Chain A
Amino acid sequence: MKKIQTRFGEVEYSPEQVLHFPQGLIGFEDLRDFIVMPNEKQGPLFWIQSVEDPEVAFVLTDPTNFFLDYRVVPEKAELQKLAMAEGDDCFALSVVTVHPDRQITLNLAAPVLFAPASNRAMQVILEKTHYQTRTPLPTA
């Protein structure tokens, strides 16, 4: 086990469970390794913490919890970067923004593709899409 400091306190993690972004996230290209943090509360939101920068953590969610027909098909080059074999699962996750007024929006225009088999992920920008960067989360 290794330890890192975060702005939420000290966190222990095992290096083999690190989620690797070969290209980082957009605007955070230098940060390649994240750990997945289980949320303290039940629900669809979880977060990933940068191993390299204590200040950087993103909230993620599976958008199909809210948008049942949301689909992203990875391109060939993306499959290679994710070190995926044919037939491997690939999930599209959304970066969540919690605004100062505590509104929640999902970035459906730039999903994070996640390949569980290789523990790799990458953020892609969807071109020619009607999905928005700030899609409000439907409330009950």
Chain B
Amino acid sequence: MLVLTRKPGEGIIIGDNIKITVIEVKGGGIRIGIDAPAEMKIHRQEVYDRILAENKEATQWNLADLNELSDKLPSRKDKP
């Protein structure tokens, strides 16, 4: 991992089109500004990790449960 020290107002440029600027340091938190192309997805690590954990858990199911639960579910589209 590359480790750099930056002060507020200083930045980092990654590749051709990503620019990260340290906006301010306040109370143990750091505000970061990111300039990147719109198609480049930027996510908070904890949000991404939560989705990843949920996907892993979502693969753990068995067919008997699914069949039984399907019988009990309402489907509004079936109703007039």
Residues of B within 8 A of A64 (CB): 77
Interface stretch, picked from A12-20, A85-93, A113-121, A132-140, is A132-140
Q: B75 contacts A27, CB within 8 Å? A: no
Q: B43 contacts A25, CB within 8 Å? A: no
Interface size on B, residues (CB 8 A): 32
B29-45: which residues lie under 8 A (CB-CB) from chain A?
A: 38-39, 41, 43
Q: B54 contacts A97, CB within 8 Å? A: yes
A42-B70, A59-B66, A125-B47 known; A76 vs B55 contact (CB < 8 Å): no
- Cα(A58)–Cα(B51), bound, Å: 14
Q: Any chain A CB within 8 A of the CB of B67?
A: yes
B contact set with A: CB distance below 8 Å = 38-39, 41, 43, 47-48, 50-61, 63, 65-77
